[in-house]
Structure 1
């Protein structure tokens, strides 16, 4: 009995397959019929691009559900450098969000998801810059490894190798695809991988060409033997949707990027252009054997699947279970191959769906600490007339004999407490170590996986009419929300104690001590100890050591320290120590469209002793897509009031020394068109209005400022790019802080984005900057006087620089906030 369960553990390890939280829900009749067809198809295609949201969901949906191919998407990066329209996550946390958005998208369109170790460091203008930051050979090795592991018959790239790709990462993805296409079959290339995978030669490499960069593409494709035209608007009656409709639902999962998509119906053509590999006649898969005949011993399996397909009765799907059990047994008896484990997973899902089987593995809490006991329960119900017995359950390689009959439609609950022995704390595997251009992942067999392998799951052995098969269920926690209904979240393993600092950055403009609040949280009962702050010489925390005592699990206790900065300007890191050991902070990322994510990072904060002067006291802030600039302003000593439509239209705006508009507010807040007059009156009467970057596409109004300016795609991506002053005597550069070139050192990721490229003569540009090899851009900061006040537009990335504690960014922003005072003293 134990051997089959252990065998299925190998299935999960081989595929990097994480049982989906909703995998316990049976397929519908139409989905079962589609899955039967797919079970008889052994072909594969890998789509390859650079970022989350680069993928063509229409083509993925078409390949997975019309051509019935095993379809994967390899995104070189996790989108860490992207903007966030729904929250404040940046960098690594942004990558976690976008990883999960891709996984949710794949659940809809039927694809699988893979990644390399490459970090999305933000916009890149050339592949040369991209490869320099990534280490080309390491990313190329990852692409080769994923090709060898996934073994695609066909690879399709999103972007060309030319400048039409529009992004250095995009161009790099095309270059890597072409090189990896050949190297994957070369045993002398990355031979260390061959312990885990075999060499593999895909049959063809296509470019998914687009009218984005070639308006004549439809005409070029007509009668050209190098092109294939695919109608991805084809309707699938089993799903009740066209692939273009499925694709829209899939793409809409990229909510952090604001990529909600409309459902398009009717003919929708995609164009594929052969780049490498064998010629074809009229189909992407010409000459490729994607039947069971490609597997030794597969012919008989194919006949059984065809029998099940022909015999399928939508109202009585359980009738084909005996045939599917024969299929399962024969596949399980096959020698090792990648297709063996893919098809075992598929047929197991089909068998359980045809039985109307619901199974779940539920814990009584969402977390535990290493070495503690967990109360788990298997909830399982058989909703068919078939005779079913639950014989064994394996948890963490420990097998329990159950031998429980499952009568029709009677829910069974099996309590299975276990101990989380030697379990590592839950954290995205690629974030376990510090990184720069590429994530540090030591284990070769982890590379490519979208998320951690779930080791806490139940392997459930069932006997159906004398034949054994098995399913798995991940350990989860579930509860019922009065509005949202039943909700699942992944079970996690956490440190016994975690700590969180109230702010990521503390700014000291003088030697006055600041309060630093540390929240201690216990993840098990009855924990006590002490907490201290590790600071470099010249900085001081009072008290030096503080005790804590927590009785109940998930309870918190706050400890307050007063931190005195050094006498001179400096930027330092403060770490929290628990019992003299560096503590971890636990972060839960919660959005309705993805599963709750858990991230552990060092409990620390940046301390900035800064020579900065400010003027004014009260600032109004209009939140846009979400940023942490208000917190940074409070660190400078400002009182920040968040403004909504009502306050902007009906409030007393004259009380604010400045009103600041958050990033993309004119893209995300529909009401901004309704408050234009109020804001212009505020400026005219002496106010200072600062607008941070927006994008031209999707503006809710064509009027932002008192005069016209055009928001372009201009940006400066090199964070250390030279910055010069248009007019060094301008008050924004001198009051209340005299800025120098030193203020533009130590910036992160980029200088800025979405600069203005055209503006009315009333505007004055303040800064000039450019990436290497490009002409200077003056549109990063524009200021214009209107009535008694001023309007400022800036594409400078304050939303990144201020939370990162960049001193010069604070000084520049303080000058912008103080601008009207500066003008009044001239």
Structure 2
């Protein structure tokens, strides 16, 4: 039986809809694909009847749907194009409007309305078949215009949840644009309004005519070169801030401030960018406090009219529409109480992560190796070797080179393997002793951690690891843990999501020959970019095994 059996999905379910259904049924039955405009009289009649519906829900939805059909059948081309791809509140732009009627219907452009100013321009122009109407207008962006950034990013969210204060926006795929033009059209005596978003259009020698959203952005973009800067000791580091002018003659003062225990110099820089699109990077020196400390800092660009704290980010790929984000510029500074043994680390990159850059931030010398160059003798100069996430899934060379890694461990080295997936493994056995990968994972980033072996060197040397080191983790604890393993492996941690059984496979450690082998499904690759201090301290202990 049909799941919709007994449910009326026709126009008769709506009061006053029976006649509309009959008209549209006739349009569908007799539609002439060679002359779509022949259906206009009946479509216009249905449109007028829809305006009389008492059910506001269906009236709103069906009005927009039938307007789209009428526009298509009339071959009605309506466009509002800005002479600039973006502007700032208070700016003036030039709008180029165009209207074409590609049918024999009697079509008149009565007026246009520039929104959100609700500025009406009377036109009263007949649109003959296939004759182009064009006109340009000055258009001022309101001073209170909101930036055209995704609405779900406008406010700071909570764990796993965006914050959207306006319930009418929830569920919309994009932020509704307020910069629009309404074309008030008369078709065969029926008045219909068509609202069009203002767009930006340009021609490319290869791809031809291209359309992009017209964006409202701040007049200046300020952004940090890094997301996180770590301080493993008292040495100073430099912060780089890029200032980009989104309009001509951008002048102001760039300021950077922090709590008193963090020393920043200089306190400000004068900025003068005469040309739109130009940018300059400023450097500030930061000295951290003596004790472990984490802060977020925001730059501020001060002008005579207003202060700005946002960065403009453009996402532009050929296969998706260009998108512009306006987000608060912020940088995490973390002074980490961390000790480490060994200096030189070899890294074998897998599917992609920023672990090498993160380890360099805490003072390691990291060499990213090509798998083809791996051999035990060449690796002997390194204090530890790390394989990247899913390295054994994506590097075919490891099928032949893994025995060299095991020989390196046997000769006294330390090898840390990050998570892999069971499907598509390039080797029969990843570690020196067998273990079986599974789909076990802990998705709750704040899941409780228990220490199976509190005396393990991994929890004590050179950094004393406590449960506080697992505070502030992001997205998850770990993934694709082994669920069975050889007795030569020691387990250190136990964890689980709520109402699930404890898992002990997140961290396996084995003594092999003179060295140590570590397999971990803990998501260090997520914690490092977020500047989670405890993850660095624990990883430093893994790299320090045997030293």
TM-score, with normalisation over the residues of structure 2? 0.87
Give the equivalent residue in structure 2 for 1:792. 518
Deviation at 1:492, TM superposition (A): 1.9
Give the equivalent residue in structure 2 for 1:287. 6
Preserved contact between residue 683 and residue 788 of structure 1 (Cα < 8 Å): no
Matched residue SS, 1:401: strand
Matched residue SS, 2:439: coil
Query: Which has the higher mean CA deviation after the structures are superposed, 501-510 or 309-318?
Result: 309-318
Instruction: Give the alignment partner of residue 435 of structure 1, picking from 149, 154, 157.
Output: 157
Give the equivalent residue in structure 2 for 1:350. 69
Matched residue SS, 2:198: strand
Give the equivalent residue in structure 1 for 2:281. 558
Query: Which has the higher mean CA deviation after the structures are superposed, 478-487 or 315-324?
Result: 478-487
TM-score, with normalisation over the residues of structure 1? 0.59
Matched residue SS, 1:370: coil
**In the alignment, does 2:145 pair up with 1:419?**
no
Q: How do residues 648-797 of structure 1 correspond to structure 2 at under 5 angstroms? A: 648-650=371-373, 654=379, 658-664=384-390, 669=394, 672-686=395-409, 688-696=414-422, 704-772=430-498, 774-784=500-510, 790-797=516-523
Deviation at 1:665, TM superposition (A): 5.1
Preserved contact between residue 683 and residue 787 of structure 1 (Cα < 8 Å): no
Deviation at 1:603, TM superposition (A): 1.7
Give the equivalent residue in structure 1 for 2:360. 634
Preserved contact between residue 584 and residue 600 of structure 1 (Cα < 8 Å): yes
Deviation at 1:489, TM superposition (A): 3.0
Counterparts of 1:464 and 1:481 in 2: how far apart (Å)? 35
Give the equivalent residue in structure 2 for 1:376. 95
Matched residue SS, 2:298: strand
Instruction: Tell me: CA distance 1:678–1:700, structure 2 relative to 1, closer, same or farther (3 Å).
Output: closer
1:321-379 Cα deviation digits (max 9, x unpaired): 22212222222243452111111111111122223344433323322111111223234
What are structure 1's unaligned runs of at least 5 residues?
1-281
More helix by share: 1
Instruction: Tell me: CA distance 1:375–1:769, structure 2 relative to 1, closer, same or farther (3 Å).
Output: same
Counterparts of 1:359 and 1:638 in 2: how far apart (Å)? 60
Matched residue SS, 1:525: coil
1:696-728 Cα deviation digits (max 9, x unpaired): 456577654454332223223443434344434
What are structure 2's unaligned runs of at least 5 residues?
none
Instruction: Give the alignment partner of residue 364 of structure 1, picking from 72, 78, 83.
Output: 83
Instruction: Tell me: CA distance 1:688–1:480, structure 2 relative to 1, closer, same or farther (3 Å).
Output: farther
Instruction: Give the alignment partner of residue 610 of structure 1, picking from 336, 344, 347.
Output: 336
Counterparts of 2:462 and 2:230 in 1: how far apart (Å)? 17
1:125-152 Cα deviation digits (max 9, x unpaired): xxxxxxxxxxxxxxxxxxxxxxxxxxxx
Instruction: Give the alignment partner of residue 120 of structure 2, picking from 374, 396, 399.
Output: 399
Counterparts of 2:57 and 2:302 in 1: how far apart (Å)? 48
Counterparts of 2:131 and 2:21 in 1: how far apart (Å)? 34
Counterparts of 1:531 and 1:326 in 2: how far apart (Å)? 61
Q: How do residues 315-354 of structure 1 correspond to structure 2 at under 5 angstroms? A: 315-335=34-54, 337-354=56-73
Matched residue SS, 1:554: coil
**In the alignment, does 2:339 pair up with 1:620?**
no
**In the alignment, does 2:265 pair up with 1:546?**
no
Give the equivalent residue in structure 1 for 2:29. 310
Matched residue SS, 1:446: coil
Instruction: Tell me: CA distance 1:771–1:416, structure 2 relative to 1, closer, same or farther (3 Å).
Output: same
Instruction: Tell me: CA distance 1:336–1:519, structure 2 relative to 1, closer, same or farther (3 Å).
Output: same
Counterparts of 1:404 and 1:788 in 2: how far apart (Å)? 89
Matched residue SS, 1:810: helix
Between Structure 1 and Structure 2, whose CA radius of gyration is higher?
2
More strand by share: 2
Deviation at 1:571, TM superposition (A): 1.2
Query: Which has the higher mean CA deviation after the structures are superposed, 514-523 or 307-316?
Result: 307-316
Instruction: Give the alignment partner of residue 815 of structure 1, picking from 521, 541, 547.
Output: 541
Instruction: Tell me: CA distance 1:754–1:387, structure 2 relative to 1, closer, same or farther (3 Å).
Output: same
Matched residue SS, 1:375: strand
1:375-434 Cα deviation digits (max 9, x unpaired): 232344444444444332222122222344445455554323311112112233233223
Instruction: Tell me: CA distance 1:320–1:737, structure 2 relative to 1, closer, same or farther (3 Å).
Output: same
**In the alignment, does 2:187 pair up with 1:464?**
yes
Deviation at 1:740, TM superposition (A): 3.0
**In the alignment, does 2:452 pair up with 1:452?**
no
Aligned residues: 533
